[in-house]
Amino acid sequence: MVEERPFGTTLLALFQAVTGVIELNLGILMLTIGNPLPTVFPSINTYWVGLLMIVLGVISLFLGRTLWAGGASNWLLAISLTLIDVTIRIMLPVTYGTSWIAFAATLELDIVVLYYLTRPSTTPFFGGDGIRSVLSKFKIEMEPRMKEVRFTLRLVRKSYLSIVGASIIVFYLLVALLAPFLADPTNSLQQTGDPNMMWKDIELQATVSLEPQGPSAAHPFGTIQNQYDMYYGCIWGARSALRVGLYVAGGSMLIGLLIGIFASYYGGWIDEALMRFTDIIFAFPGLILAMTLVVVLVPMGINRLDAVMFALTIVGWPGYARLIRGEILRIKNEDYIEAAKSVGCSDLRVITKHILPNSIYPILIVFTLDIGTVVLGAAALSFLGLGAPPGYADWGQIIAFSVNWIYGSPSNPFAKWHTFVIPGLFISLFVMGWNLLGDALRDILDPTMRRK
């Protein structure tokens, strides 16, 4: 029979996992859109706190995984991670005055104590042979994983597509993270109060009105209609693109995974009902359904960009559900799945430990490819006037502003080339980076191809 972990340890592991996910989301929000909770985080440096929140989230997830796995060597790792976690959490309120994080640090100490109290009494505190034995055991346990990691890194070095794609994505990540330094938001804050809104050159607007101006020292990428600074829009547009792409693709993947897993694993009427609902969503053209949802949601008081992300998520999840359902139907009757069931593994354990690890790779590949597709969809909605609010730093909206200026004049038809070429390059390279990375991941991660 499979040894069951104590119920208290299971709860603590789940608590750490949820905490890690929340902290990761808060960190990403702080780095992309600014302060998401001004009442909880009054007057903080969102850039550095966002980075620290991401670190805390990763540590919490590792700690949750450690608690879930159990074992003497994992216990030592749990202590180390907790000490790091508590240290960072204590430093935050001292630096930024966020006292609620100091309270969270006490929860970490409680987790370690409760974990020790809920462990089986037959398990020695340090494995019975001291710390050196624990470290040696931990090294032996990690060796197969490290061998697989080294093999994966060799494949990455051999794949030029993965290097090029990853380099492009890293470039955009750096642009998004360093946006406040690459494009100073002072003018935008003075005019709109929101750093995500493009700023206007008031003097040019008074002189030449709407007509875009070419690149200059004051405006490296030139201006677009209404004299919005296009350099600022393209740089801060990287944040908008990453936010939309990651949130929509991630949300679609999560919904699709849950529905596809339930439908394929349990089958019967559950499968029939969920798949017919999926077929209903598939029956509508994706862009038309997204446009309809945005038109319905915006008058209800929902932010336009949030409405776009919600609409694209509703349109996107059925593909993930179909894909994971097919993968699980392919492997759920394999011998190792039946063996896990026969020794008493719960459905949750069978799904998380045996089915998902052997069926998740196509989902991850589609996820990377989908990020670029989502950004194109959001740009299309912005181009049609249904996306981000006017003046928002969004590549699709910048191109929409160029519609009246694509054809300059009979004597110089490409006089306003910068209004559509520069934002078009930003979108094209962003999508190409994710597509190249997705193609490379297929060869690197797919277990049926990686050893060929």
* Model pLDDT, residue 315: 92
- Classify residue 170 as exposed, middle or buried by CB count within 10 Å of its CB (0-12, 13-18, 19+): exposed
Both tokens of 207, joined, read 């002189």
**Pick the residue with more confidence: 307 or 39?**
307
Measured between alpha carbons, how far is 425 from 431 in angstroms, rounded to an integer? Answer: 10
Tokens of 242: 């990453």
Say which residues have a Cβ less than 8 Å from residue 94's Cβ, sequence separation at least 6: none
**Residue 329 — very low, low, confident or very high, per pLDDT cuts 50/70/90?**
confident
**Sign of the torsion formed by the C-alpha atoms of 30, 188, 425 and 285:** positive
Find the range with the poorest average confidence among 53-57, 107-111, 142-146, 301-305: 107-111
Residue 333 carries which DSSP code?
Answer: T
Between 137 and 81, the more confident residue is 137
Q: Give yes or no for residue 125 having a pLDDT over 50.
A: no
CA 8 → CA 87, 88, 112, 125, 291, distances in Å?
Answer: 25, 26, 11, 17, 47
CA angle 312, 314, 319 (to 5 degrees): 95
- How far is Cα 80 from Cα 76, in angstroms, rounded to an integer? 6
- Give the 3-state secondary structure of residue 90: helix
Q: Lowest-pLDDT range, 315-324, 411-420, 422-431? A: 411-420
pLDDT at 85: 56
Q: What is the phi/psi pair of residue 228, to 5°? A: -70, 140
Please tell me the least confidently modeled range out of 73-77, 307-311, 338-342, 394-398: 73-77
Which residue is it, tokens 């805390």?
56
Question: What confidence tens digit (pLDDT) does each residue in 76-94 have?
Answer: 555 555 555 555 555 554 4
The one-letter amino acid at 371: I
> Once rounded to an integer, what is the mean pLDDT over residues 152-162?
74
Residue 72's pLDDT is what?
38
- Cα gap 405→224, rounded to integer Å: 9
Judged against a pLDDT cut of 80, whether residue 147 lies above it is answered with no
Residue 318: pLDDT band (50, 70, 90) is: very high
Distance CA 338, CA 323 (A): 22
Residue 150 CB-half CA count within 13 A: 6
Do residues 311 and 244 touch, judged by C-beta distance below 8 A? no
Confidence of residue 101 (pLDDT cuts 50, 70, 90): very low
Residue of higher predicted confidence among 69 and 276: 276
Q: What is the pLDDT of residues 2-25, one digit of tens each?
A: 445 555 566 667 777 777 777 777
CA separation for the pair 97, 101 (Å, rounded) = 9
- Give me the half-sphere count of Cα atoms (radius 13 Å) on the Cβ side of residue 159: 23
Res. 73: pLDDT tops 50:
no
- Per the CB < 8 A criterion, the answer to whether 132 and 417 are in contact is no
Average the pLDDT over 414-419 and give the result: 80
pLDDT band at 450 (very low <50, low <70, confident <90, very high): low
Q: Tell me which residue of 60, 63, 61, 27 sits closest to 46, measured CA to CA.
A: 27
Confidence of residue 430 (pLDDT cuts 50, 70, 90): very high
Contacts of 246 (CB under 8 A, 6+ apart): 28, 371
CATH (residue range 164-445): 1.10.3720.10
Residue spans per domain, the chain: 7-123, 164-445
pLDDT in tens, 224-260: 888 888 899 899 999 889 889 988 988 899 899 999 9
CB distance 105 to 89 below 8 Å? yes
d(CA 232, CA 333): 55
Q: How many helices (H) and strands (E) does the chain have?
A: 18, 0
Q: What is the pLDDT of residue 312?
A: 92
228 forms bridges with which residues in the sheet?
A: 200
How distant is the alpha carbon of residue 444 from its chain centre? Answer: 21
Determine the 3-state secondary structure of 229 from DSSP.
strand
Q: What value does the mean pLDDT of the chain take? A: 76
Count of CB atoms within 10 A of residue 223's CB? 28
